[in-house]
Amino acid sequence: MNSRRRVAITGIGMVTPLGHDAPTTWAGLLAGRSGLGPIRGFDAEGFPVRIGGEVRDFKPEDVISNRRLLKYASRPAGFALVAAEEAMRDAGLRPNALDGHRWGLSVGAGMLGVAFSELETVHRHCVADGEFHPDGFLDSQFPVDPVAFCRSQTNAGLGLLAQHFGIRGYATAVHTACASGGQALGTALKVMRRGHADFMLAGGFDSMLNPVGISGFCLLGALSTDNDTPHQASRPFDKTRNGFVLGEGAGFLVLEEWASAQARGARIYAELAGDGNSLSSYRITDSHPSGDGPIQAMQQAMQDAGIGLEDVDYVNAHGTSTQMNDRSECAALRAVFGSHIQRVAVSSTKSCMGHLIAAAGAVEAGVCALAIRDGIAPVNANLVEPDPECGVNLVRGQSRPLQIRATLSNSLGFGGSNSCLVLRHPDEVMAPSGRGRFPLGKATA
């Protein structure tokens, strides 16, 4: 490959349990504030798990004035529209009739989402004597709702984003469970590098905080049952961790070709510099104890970015707070970083936000960009007794001021997909001074 396009992050938007925008979320993360609490969105009293990271008091109409569009937006699609709107405004950029076809869209989207009330309607009409009867749908009383049908389409969020912003180019939605958000950004990077778009709106959105969604994880025993202490329930890398806390939200980035971002005087948060993407091919929910899979993803991402171990100052870990994930992720980190491991700051911001599933990787990449901008690694909250088996340099107690030249953002999914993104400080790109391997314009693949 000849000289390769560089990709700048110029806009960030977030809707998370910590706030309805990126600045509030970022301030919460730096302060180590918990966005987790008792579930209020539905009556969770009988459930084994009664806590989550809910986006509270969310009113998309405060940000998105197109009411008709919002009618077609599920809860997570509403998060997506609001976070994407913030990212676009932050970048000071908007597709227009002339360049809409050069804008792409890449999202990590959740599983099929049906409102619980809709499932109750099916139950009311189609279940008799404990049996399911499809003919109940033919009942003239059955409330067929075409808008609800549209809302539940797997790519509805993608279609609404394209419509709202006037994006006319490459558009894709990916779902690799918890790795979705990271993979969506990785895909966006590749689409820009191969010249299929000059701008990308990329991110992830999800909400499984509903009776069916949370049930799926309850049945697997994957969630923390610390119902009385929600603020401490998510404690990645702590010895006493006992599962993750389900969150919801969205994260979006605006990506632009570096030179054109510079030319218009855009504020560049960071370079989206590398993507690593592997498949563990081990077991569907278990990660390999050795870290096999994530190891390859991290190595590929750094190679792709053209950086070495010595360039990485901070890792935003997947760090779900399950026994297995955190141990295996640390094994991977130790295997990758070797003697550098104690120099690299590691934290999981899921300690404050919970696990945003398909949105997690996208929000966390935005977190990495802000960490680079502000020179601070956000705290891994609730770390009282670090698991001695983890053996990595965790950001404990409070957020840590740190010159960050490059960060990794890990996202590891059920099903074994592993995504690792590399973000670099813009100064590293502009003035390589021996650290960056490839001077601008001569990058090689």
Partner 1 sequence: MNSTPRIMITGVGAVCGAGLGVDAIWSAILDGRSAVAPIRQWDSSRWPARLAAEVTEVSSQTLVEDRRLHKFISRTDMFGLYAAQGAIQQSGLLAHREKLEAPAVTRFNDRSGVFVGSGGGVYQNNYDFLPLITASGGDLKGFGRELTSTVNPMWLLRNLPNNVLCYIGIRHGFKGTNACITNQCVGGIMAVAEAAAALRSGEADRAVAAGHDATIDPETVLHFHKLGLLAEDAVRPFDRDRRGTVLGEGAAAFVLETDEGARSRKAEIVGEFLGSGCSTEGTGVVGVRPDGAGLSQAIELALADAQVSSEEVGLIVAHGNGTRASDASEANAIHRVFGDRPPPVTAFKWAYGHLVAASGSIDLALALRALRDGVVPGIPTLNSLDPALAPLPVSQKPQSLRGSVAVIACRGFGGMNAVLVVRAVPVSRAE
- Residues belonging to the active site: 178, 318, 355
423 touches 409 (CB < 8 A)? yes
* Nearer residue to partner 1 within complex by CB, 111 or 430: 111
* Nearer residue to partner 1 within complex by CB, 190 or 340: 190
443 touches 6 (CB < 8 A)? yes
**Burial readout 202-219 (b: 16 or more C-beta within 10 A, e: otherwise):** bbbbbbbbbbebbeebee
275 touches 190 (CB < 8 A)? yes
Span interacting with partner 1, options 229-237, 276-284, 319-327, 377-385, rule CB under 8 A: 276-284
Cβ partners under 8 Å of residue 28, min gap 6:
18, 19, 35, 352
Which of 377, 419, 411 lies closest to 394, judged by CA? 377
- Nearest-10 crossing angle of helices 211-220, 116-126: 90
167 touches 188 (CB < 8 A)? no
Span interacting with partner 1, options 26-34, 217-225, 364-372, 401-409, rule CB under 8 A: 217-225
Distance CA 142, CA 163 (A): 30
Distance CA 282, CA 339 (A): 27
Query: Is residue 41 close enough to count as binding partner 1 by CB under 8 A?
Result: no
Distance CA 358, CA 347 (A): 19
Query: Is residue 255 close enough to count as binding partner 1 by CB under 8 A?
Result: no
Which of 291, 304, 397 lies closest to 341, judged by CA? 291
Interface residues for partner 1 in 73-112 (CB under 8 A)?
100-101, 105, 109, 111-112
Q: What is the closest distance, in whole angstroms, from the C-beta atom of residue 372 to partner 1 in the complex?
A: 25
Interface residues for partner 1 in 395-434 (CB under 8 A)?
413-417
Interface residues for partner 1 in 169-208 (CB under 8 A)?
169-177, 183, 187, 190, 193-194, 196
Span interacting with partner 1, options 134-142, 236-244, 378-386, 392-400, rule CB under 8 A: 134-142
Q: What is the closest distance, in whole angstroms, from the C-beta atom of residue 43 to partner 1 in the complex?
A: 4
Cβ partners under 8 Å of residue 317, min gap 6:
236, 237, 326, 329, 333, 346, 347, 348, 410
The position carrying tokens 């003697």 is 339
* Nearer residue to partner 1 within complex by CB, 153 or 260: 153
DSSP annotation string for 205-228 = EEE--SHHHHHHHHHHT-B---TT
Q: What is the closest distance, in whole angstroms, from the C-beta atom of residue 433 to partner 1 in the complex?
A: 26
Interface residues for partner 1 in 143-162 (CB under 8 A)?
144, 146, 149-156, 158-160, 162
Query: Is residue 134 close enough to count as binding partner 1 by CB under 8 A?
Result: yes
* Residue type, position 342, single letter: Q
* 42, 229, 259, 403: which one binds partner 1 (CB under 8 A): 42
Q: What is the closest distance, in whole angstroms, from the C-beta atom of residue 125 to partner 1 in the complex?
A: 11
Q: What is the closest distance, in whole angstroms, from the C-beta atom of residue 87 to partner 1 in the complex?
A: 18
Two tokens, residue 443: 């990058």
Q: What is the closest distance, in whole angstroms, from the C-beta atom of residue 439 to partner 1 in the complex?
A: 17
Q: Which residues pair with 9 in a beta bridge?
A: 255, 270
Interface residues for partner 1 in 313-332 (CB under 8 A)?
none
Q: What is the closest distance, in whole angstroms, from the C-beta atom of residue 281 to partner 1 in the complex?
A: 4
Size of the site for partner 1 (CB under 8 A): 91
Span interacting with partner 1, options 17-25, 42-50, 306-314, 371-379, rule CB under 8 A: 42-50
Letters for 341-380 (x = contact with partner 1 by CB under 8 A, - = none) are ----------------------------------------
Interface residues for partner 1 in 46-75 (CB under 8 A)?
46-48, 69, 72
